[in-house]
């Protein structure tokens, strides 16, 4: 039994070896053959972890069912292993990949001329020495050095982010040059036709002035760019940076082609006027659809971008066929050419997609069907353009004749109406002149009243300032005055004592004078006299300091009309305001400033002090309005934030109802009795805060109190605010 199992294992291993065996691809003179699945083994490397030096000993190569190698989203890098025999007379065998979006194509072969272990030699498509022939400029070419009647095993590494078939072609050197010359001639002719069509329609635009020709020329330009890159002309321009070409230039060009196709079709066929709103919205949605591959391309998701572009172009062609069919059923005859053109282009795209996914075999027809269908499409669109322009010209002529008849009738009616209107206008103008004169007088009176009220409010604030300053300055001055009289008496006694000692010093022969001076010194108690003088001087100094403090506080209020922003310490401004208001604060109100450290703030210093004065005085009056007072207080907080500061003023006053709170910043609104207030205090505060690009919020409840929160931005500049009137 063990012998049977051993034999079966050997058979399975041998079958695996035979299954991996491929045919040798033999190239004769004047022969060109594709590398199909019977000649190569494949090894997927989606994570790019396989190194070239390890590929010789990798036994994971396997055969595939597809005729050609194919790269897709889950397989962006693949290795191919195949054996090539040169049966031609040339010593090189060109290996090419054409009409595919290939980022990298590298070929390696085992170098048997060196001693030691086998090593791979690299034949890169980017090596200029291997692509000296100018006919190779639109393909990816590697020239394998292979002497006649010799064989070589090659390893090809291919990378692409696009789902595509890899048509690797093995050529004899003489046939390769001949075929490339013919293909370049055909490709040049195709691109020449695109260029002629674009220039011809651009010339028609210049002559006729119809923008449809301009839109068509732009569409042809991007179509020709797309097809030129499809033919491989971009490989020469970006031969040193194929990733830039494949990952950005090609997808962005195809996206622009889609946008120009939509732009040309929408303007040329006037979808906005000729199709219903739901269909037109779906047509507009196609613009958004192309934004998805655009974002995928910009963020580096190239594989997803190619799939989204294919889906977007397929959806665009299908939608345009549907919309143009609707126009054709409504009698728009030129639409039939667009149906044929976009229908043919849609079929070409479907065949190209099927070719890339291996559903349709790769050959010259399937490789070039999109290019040639684009040429046929341009011819059909040109015919449709001419027919459509004639159609619109007939419509324009008929509409112009109808418009001319209507215009003449309207002219007659307008002439009759003008005569009647002129008479009415004259009467109405006279009435308006009289009304305007009356309004001008009223406006002047209102402006005068407004100025008087604002000045009244300023005078009220000035009166509050004057009363506070007078009371505050009076206390230290009285203190100084009270100390002057005893200081004068002390100084007189001290001066008299000094005089007695001076007389005794001048008459040393009379000791009785010195004794009299010492007796006077004991009488006036000189030690007590010196101590009392120091006390009186300290009192005078304290009074002077308090007076200077009040004057310093008052200076900030003297800058109320300053024209520019200046750095100001808000905490200092609050303390100065409290100094001014100290005499106006009743004994039963406790003021608690809780001030966080703030950096200087750009503001109109005088205006901010005026606002603080009004807000704090408003809180004082709100507490005074209560019938009974228990533990009344006003708390002032400052807070620092990254881009602004806040000032919170909380009181235990009578509070406000919601109706009053919503109107307190209205000019002339007041809850006081007639003659007790102008109603402009909080309105002026609101205007000052608004001028500083700040905000003020109020929270209040009846019989509980109110809270005003002022927010001021940091780093305010003169260009960001308008000066005060």
Cβ-proximal residues to 438 (8 Å cutoff; 6+ apart), any chain: none
Which of 553, 582, 617 marks a domain boundary? 553
Which of 395, 417, 446 marks a domain boundary? 395
Instruction: Identify whether residues 85 and 233 lie together within a single domain.
Output: no
Total domain count for the chain? 4
pLDDT confidence bin for 594, thresholds 50/70/90 = very high
**Looking at residues 474-502, what average pLDDT do you find?**
70
- For 220-235, the three-class secondary structure string (H helix, E strand, C coil) is HHHHHHHHHHHHCCHH
Instruction: Identify whether residues 596 and 682 lie together within a single domain.
Output: yes
In this predicted structure, what is the pLDDT of residue 142?
76
Which of 553, 587, 612 marks a domain boundary? 553
Give the range with max mean pLDDT: 327-336, 555-564, 710-719.
Answer: 710-719
In this predicted structure, what is the pLDDT of residue 125?
58
In this predicted structure, what is the pLDDT of residue 144?
75
Q: Which of 194, 244, 266, 189 is nearest to 224 (CA)?
A: 194
In percent, how much of the chain has pLDDT > 90? 6
pLDDT tens figures, 108-117: 887 765 566 6
Instruction: Identify whether residues 309 and 238 lie together within a single domain.
Output: yes
pLDDT confidence bin for 16, thresholds 50/70/90 = very low
Residue 412 placed within a domain: no
Least confident of 200-214, 483-497, 676-690: 483-497
256 neighbors 291 (Cβ within 8 angstroms): no
Instruction: Identify whether residues 116 and 78 lie together within a single domain.
Output: yes
> Rounded CA gap, 72 and 40, in Å?
18
560 neighbors 684 (Cβ within 8 angstroms): no
3-state secondary structure of 621: helix
Residue 403 placed within a domain: no
Residue 429 placed within a domain: no
* Per-residue CA distances from 290 to 192, 257, 610 (Å): 29, 10, 59
Structural domain boundaries, residue 462? 435-553
pLDDT tens figures, 309-337: 888 888 888 888 888 888 888 877 767 77
List, in sequence order, the alpha helices (H) in 654-701. 658-661, 681-691
In this predicted structure, what is the pLDDT of residue 236?
65
Write the DSSP string, 419-484: HHHHHHHHHHHHHHHHHHHHHHHHHHHHHHHHHHHHHHHHHHHHHHHHHHHHHHHHHHHHHHHHHH
Instruction: Identify whether residues 330 and 195 lie together within a single domain.
Output: yes
Q: Which of 450, 432, 464, 405 is nearest to 583 (CA)?
A: 464
Question: Could you tell me the CATH number of the domain that includes residue 681?
Answer: 3.30.565.10
334 neighbors 391 (Cβ within 8 angstroms): yes
3-state secondary structure of 629: coil
For helices 277-289 and 291-298, what crossing angle results, to 10°? Answer: 10
Q: Which residue has the higher pLDDT, 161 or 679?
A: 161
Instruction: Identify whether residues 151 and 109 lie together within a single domain.
Output: yes
Please compute Rg for the chain using Cα positions.
49
Q: Which of 315, 393, 408, 311 is nearest to 353 (CA)?
A: 311
* Per-residue CA distances from 509 to 203, 515, 516, 517, 521 (Å): 134, 12, 14, 15, 21
Residue 459 placed within a domain: yes
Residue 407 placed within a domain: no
> Encoding tokens for residue 602?
């750009």
* Per-residue CA distances from 108 to 153, 154, 420, 442, 499 (Å): 9, 6, 96, 97, 122
Instruction: Identify whether residues 494 and 612 lie together within a single domain.
Output: no
Instruction: Identify whether residues 146 and 259 lie together within a single domain.
Output: no
Instruction: Identify whether residues 69 and 202 lie together within a single domain.
Output: no
């Amino acid at each position: 039994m063990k012998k049977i199992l051993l034999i079966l294992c050997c058979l399975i291993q041998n079958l695996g070896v035979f299954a991996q065996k491929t045919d040798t691809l033999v190239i004769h003179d004047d022969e060109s053959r594709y590398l199909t699945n019977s000649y190569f083994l494949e090894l997927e490397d989606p994570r790019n972890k396989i190194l070239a030096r390890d590929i010789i000993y990798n036994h994971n190569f396997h055969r595939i069912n597809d005729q050609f190698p194919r790269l897709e989203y889950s397989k962006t890098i693949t290795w191919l292993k195949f054996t090539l025999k040169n049966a031609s007379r040339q010593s090189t065998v060109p290996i090419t990949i054409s009409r595919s979006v290939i980022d990298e194509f590298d070929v390696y072969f085992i170098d048997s001329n060196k001693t030691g272990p086998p090593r791979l030699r690299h034949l890169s498509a980017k090596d200029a020495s291997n692509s000296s022939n100018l006919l190779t400029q639109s393909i990816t070419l590697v020239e394998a050095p292979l002497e006649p009647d010799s064989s070589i095993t090659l390893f090809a590494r291919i990378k692409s982010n696009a789902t595509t078939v890899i048509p690797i072609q093995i050529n004899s050197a003489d046939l390769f040059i001949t075929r490339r010359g013919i293909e370049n001639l055909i490709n040049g002719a195709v691109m020449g036709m695109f260029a002629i069509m674009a220039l011809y329609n651009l010339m028609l635009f210049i002559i006729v002035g119809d923008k449809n020709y301009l839109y068509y020329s732009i569409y042809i330009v991007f179509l020709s760019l797309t097809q030129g890159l499809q033919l491989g002309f971009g490989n020469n321009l970006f031969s040193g940076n194929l990733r830039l070409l494949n990952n950005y230039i090609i997808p962005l060009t195809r996206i622009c082609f889609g946008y120009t196709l939509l732009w040309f079709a929408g303007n040329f066929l006037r979808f906005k006027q000729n199709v219903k709103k739901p269909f037109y919205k779906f047509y507009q949605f196609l613009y958004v659809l192309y934004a998805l591959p655009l974002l995928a391309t910009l963020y580096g998701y190239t594989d997803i971008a190619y799939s989204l572009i294919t889906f977007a172009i397929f959806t665009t062609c299908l939608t345009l066929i549907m919309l143009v069919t609707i126009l054709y059923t409504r009698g728009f005859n030129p639409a039939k050419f667009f149906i044929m053109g976009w229908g043919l282009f849609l079929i070409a795209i479907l065949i190209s997609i099927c070719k890339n996914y291996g559903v349709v075999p790769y050959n010259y027809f399937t490789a070039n069907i999109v290019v040639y269908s684009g040429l046929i499409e341009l011819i059909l669109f040109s015919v449709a353009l001419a027919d459509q322009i004639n159609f619109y010209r007939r419509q324009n002529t008929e509409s112009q004749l109808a418009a001319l008849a209507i215009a003449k009738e309207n002219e007659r009616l307008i002439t009759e109406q003008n005569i009647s209107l002129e008479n009415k206008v004259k009467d109405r103008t006279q009435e308006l002149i009289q009304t305007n004169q009356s309004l001008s007088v009223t406006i002047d009176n209102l402006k005068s009243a407004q100025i008087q009220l604002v000045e009244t409010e300023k005078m009220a604030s000035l009166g509050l300032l004057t009363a506070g300053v007078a009371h505050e300055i009076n206390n230290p001055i009285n203190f100084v005055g009270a100390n002057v009289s005893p200081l004068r008496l002390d100084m007189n006694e001290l001066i008299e004592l000094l005089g007695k000692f001076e007389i005794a010093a001048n008459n040393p022969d009379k000791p009785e004078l010195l004794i009299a001076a010492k007796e006077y010194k004991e009488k006036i108690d000189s030690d007590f006299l010196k101590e009392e003088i120091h006390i009186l001087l300290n009192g005078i100094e304290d009074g002077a300091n308090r007076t200077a403090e009040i004057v310093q506080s008052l200076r900030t209020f003297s800058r109320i009309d300053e024209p520019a922003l200046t750095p100001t310490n808000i905490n200092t401004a609050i303390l100065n305001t409290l100094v001014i208001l100290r005499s106006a604060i009743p004994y039963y109100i406790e003021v608690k400033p809780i001030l966080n450290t703030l950096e200087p703030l750009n503001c109109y210093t005088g205006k901010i002090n005026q606002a603080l004065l009004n807000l704090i005085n408003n809180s004082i009056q709100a507490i005074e309005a209560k019938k009974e007072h228990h533990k009344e207080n006003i708390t002032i907080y400052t807070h620092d934030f990254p881009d602004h500061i806040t000032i919170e003023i909380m009181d235990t006053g009578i509070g406000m109802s919601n109706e009053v709170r919503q109107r307190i910043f209205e000019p002339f609104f007041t809850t006081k009795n007639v003659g007790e207030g102008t109603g402009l205090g909080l309105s002026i505060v609101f205007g000052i805060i608004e001028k500083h690009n700040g905000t003020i919020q109020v929270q209040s409840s009846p019989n509980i109190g109110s809270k005003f929160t002022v927010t001021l931005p940091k780093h305010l500049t003169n260009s960001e605010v308008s000066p005060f009137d």
